[in-house]
């Protein structure tokens, strides 16, 4: 599993509660956001995922962060590179 080199969102700049106008699948936003928050630490200083107890950021958090980013409708700087 590969992870983006940096997250699209973070605890200080979380995803918005409502999907952006550019969202590809706005009906999925609340589900993706729910699981994004479930896989965050209990508090900002913690280094453990509150749900799976893995070192944070955990693989599941990267997954939901990536899905939220893809849903924004903007290309990801590392995973959506043009194919040559």
pLDDT in tens, 25-45: 999 999 999 999 999 999 988
Q: What is the pLDDT of residue 28?
A: 97
Quote the radius of gyration of the chain (alpha carbons, Å).
13
Looking at the predicted structure, is the pLDDT value of residue 69 above 70? yes
pTM for this model (two decimals) = 0.78
Task: Quickly count: other Cβ atoms within 10 Å of residue 6's Cβ.
Answer: 8
Query: Using 50, 70 and 90 to split pLDDT, how confident is the model at 75?
Result: low
Mean pLDDT along residues 56-82: 79
Q: What is the pLDDT of residue 81?
A: 47
């Amino acid at each position: 599993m590969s992870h983006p080199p940096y997250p699209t969102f973070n605890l200080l700049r979380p995803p918005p509660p409502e999907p952006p106008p550019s969202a590809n699948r706005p009906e999925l936003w609340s589900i993706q956001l729910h699981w994004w928050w479930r896989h965050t630490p209990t508090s900002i200083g913690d280094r453990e995922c509150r749900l799976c107890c893995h070192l944070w950021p955990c693989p599941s958090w990267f997954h939901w962060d990536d899905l939220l980013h893809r849903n924004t409708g903007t290309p990801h700087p590392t995973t959506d590179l043009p194919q040559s």
